[in-house]
Structure formats: C-alpha cells, structure tokens
C-alpha cells in the first residue's frame, strides 16, 4: 500500500506517520507546505532508523494551488489518500476567515480533483471535525448525519470541504469516507492548543483562563481523545469503512475544561491558578460544549484502546520532559 498523507508534518499527520511506520509496511508520501502547524522535526523524532526513512517521500506543496503535472509526478501512484491537512485554529479563523476558506474548501477541491483525474481507483478519507455540528445542548450527542450548524469560520470551512467530498463521491463514484473527530491531544501538539497551553501556564505559574458560560459558573466541555486513538480509528475506517459513509471518532468520556486543568495540575504536582471567563460573549464563535455519538464505530467493533486518564497522564508527563514543544 502506498498512501498520500496531506498535512504530514502536522500534529495529526505525524502521528499517522508514526503509526504506519511502526505497524504497517505502507509507503507514505507526505504533502505539506510547512506553515504555522507543519514541522518536520515531528517526523524526525518518530523515525527510528534509516530503513524506515526509506518508506517516506516528501513533497512540498500548498494545496490551495491545484496539483500540477509536476507535483502529481512527484507524488506518483497511490492506493489511498488521507486528507488530514487543514487550517484548524478557531481564533485565527475568526480574524482571518478567507484563509480558512482557501485552505479547507479550495484546498480540498484541489485534492479531490487529483483523486478524480489522476488516481480515481484510490480510496480517500477526509478528516473533518465535531465543530461542523455546532454547539451541543446538554444531553445531546450528534450522529453522523445530523444537521450542520457551524459556529465559526473554521467549522464552516471544514463543512464545506466535507460536502465537496460527498458531492465528488456521489457524482463520480469515488471511494470517499469522512470522519468527525472530537478534540485531539497528544505529544508534539502546537502550543496554541488547550492542553499544551495549560501545561505551559502551570509551569510558569501563570493565570489559566477557562472558557465558561455567561454567568461564569459552568466551564465548557469536550470529549478529548488522544491522537494515537484517532489514528487507530482512522485505520479501522480504512479497513472496515464503506464509501460515502461518515464516522464519528469519540473519546471515552466527557470532561469539562476546568476539571481537565485541575487534572493536569495534579499530574504535574503544581498549583493551578485559574479564572472562569465568558469567552462567547466577547468572542462569538467559541462554543461551550461539543458532543458526538460514537455508537456507529462502537457497533462496528472500534473503541479507544487506552482510556482518557491514562492518555492524559502520559501526554502531560511527556510534554513536561520535552518542553521545547511548548516553548517555541
């Protein structure tokens, strides 16, 4: 098997590389532009020997531009595409929405055109997000085909890319599957993300701001899931999924952000100084709660192999020992 991995030097992408190098004999073509989130040092750290390195092909390309004949030749024949590359940060999507439209909608269209015109026999998995469904009221967990209600430009751009994928699957008969994934954490995550940000603030004895409701009495909550569990689910979808189907990848339990910060401080053995703040009133687009129903994959036989608490402890301890990933 030879696969094209977009965003290969990103947080999710490099965990996919690590998994495939360790647990398969697949060859991997990495496509990345090395911007804010792309970092080849991630790949360097997960390559264990020179023999494994020989299974990687690196292609520099910003997929906002079409896949030219020269880039297609550099990519070569592929059996599948894992389209993980995207702009992902909500704050930046609010201040610069058009760049997210170009990256996540136009960029996805260019990858789809490569699939349609160059490798139509290949399968493709599009990596989407829980945020396309918008905020989830208490007691609600969205299923794969529930309506969309994007709360910010990032979410809308991912929904746009996702619907293009389904249109190409329906129109051209392409084998495309979609995953919705909840908040992912793990080693080498960009320091702007919540868990590395919390670790950084605790190390420096700085005030931690926790997203809460308008009355500042209830913190926002998520179903956090480790990147390795996400990659395991992606591989399950590649093996057992069906074209034109969507799959929710969900963590084992819901955790509110204040409880999460307290857990991190406890693992670190350091005090936590925090303040609950009403982000949504001052920064519309920050949703209080996201929730997905993971029943579809569970019924097919997939659940996370490692629980949330153990994954969190491993990640926090690793990050404290490798602070160069949060001190950039």
Q: Which ranges of the chain have pLDDT less than 50? A: none
| 100 plus 116 within the same structural domain | yes
| Pair 268, 172 in one domain | no
Q: So what's the pLDDT on residue 328?
A: 60
Q: Which pLDDT score, from 0 to 100, does residue 173 have?
A: 97
| Residue 219 Cα to chain centre, angstroms | 22
Helix 308-321 vs helix 194-203: crossing angle, to nearest 10: 50
**Tokens at 261, concatenated:** 């910060």
The CATH number assigned to the domain holding 140 equals: 3.40.50.720
Q: Are residues 51 and 27 in the same domain?
A: yes
Say whether 293 is catalytic.
Answer: no
Alpha-carbon distance 308 to 316, whole Å? 12
Q: Are residues 165 and 214 in the same domain?
A: no
- The pLDDT score that the predictor gives to residue 287 is 76
Q: What is the DSSP letter of 148?
A: P
pTM confidence score: 0.93
Choosing from 130, 175, 232, 287, the catalytic residue is 130
| pLDDT tens column, 292-321 | 999 999 999 999 999 999 999 999 999 999
Catalytic residue, candidates 18, 126, 142, 154? 154
154 is catalytic: yes
What is the domain-level CATH number for residue 320?
3.90.25.10
Verify whether residue 310 is a known catalytic residue: no
pLDDT score recorded for residue 283: 62
Residue 202 lies in a domain: yes
Question: Is 321 within the bounds of a domain?
Answer: yes
Active-site hit among 18, 32, 131, 256: 131
In-domain check, residue 298: no
For residues 281 and 214, the answer to whether their CB atoms sit within 8 Å is yes
Q: Are strands 274-277 and 208-211 parallel, antiparallel or unpaired?
A: parallel
Spatial distance between the Cα atoms of 234 and 113, rounded to a whole number of angstroms: 22
Both 153 and 99 in one domain: the answer is: yes
Domain contains 57: yes
- For residue 193, give the DSSP letter: S
Per the structure, the complete domain to which residue 313 belongs is given by 189-221+254-289+306-325
């Amino acid at each position: 098997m030879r696969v094209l991995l977009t965003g290969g030097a990103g947080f999710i992408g490099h965990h996919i590389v690590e998994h495939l190098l360790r647990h398969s004999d697949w060859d991997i073509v990495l496509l990345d532009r090395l911007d804010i989130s792309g970092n080849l040092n991630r790949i360097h750290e997960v390559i264990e020997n020179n023999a494994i390195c020989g299974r990687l092909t690196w292609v520099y390309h910003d997929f906002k531009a079409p896949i030219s004949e020269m880039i297609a030749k550099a990519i070569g024949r592929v059996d599948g595409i894992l389209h993980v590359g995207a702009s992902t940060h909500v704050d930046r999507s609010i201040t610069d929405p058009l760049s997210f439209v170009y990256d996540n909608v136009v960029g996805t269209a260019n990858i789809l055109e490569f699939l349609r015109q160059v490798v139509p026999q290949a399968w493709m998995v599009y990596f989407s997000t829980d945020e396309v469904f918008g905020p989830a009221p208490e007691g609600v967990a969205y299923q794969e085909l529930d309506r969309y209600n994007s709360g910010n430009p990032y979410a809308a751009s991912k929904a746009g890319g996702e619907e293009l994928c389904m249109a190409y699957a329906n129109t051209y008969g392409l084998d495309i599957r979609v995953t919705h994934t909840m908040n992912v954490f793990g080693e080498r995550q960009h320091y702007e993300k919540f868990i590395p940000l919390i670790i950084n603030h605790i190390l420096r004895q700085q005030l931690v701001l926790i997203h809460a409701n308008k009355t500042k009495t209830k913190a926002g909550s998520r179903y956090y899931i480790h990147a390795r569990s996400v990659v395991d689910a992606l591989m399950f979808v590649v093996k057992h999924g069906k074209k034109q189907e969507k799959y929710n990848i969900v963590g084992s339990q819901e955790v509110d952000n204040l409880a999460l910060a307290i857990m991190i401080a406890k693992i670190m053995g350091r005090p936590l100084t925090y303040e609950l703040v009403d982000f949504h009133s001052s920064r519309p687009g920050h949703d209080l709660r996201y929730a997905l129903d993971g029943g579809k994959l569970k019924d097919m036989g997939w659940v996370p192999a490692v629980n949330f608490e153990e994954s969190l402890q491993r990640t926090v301890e690793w990050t404290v020992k490798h602070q160069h990933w949060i001190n950039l």
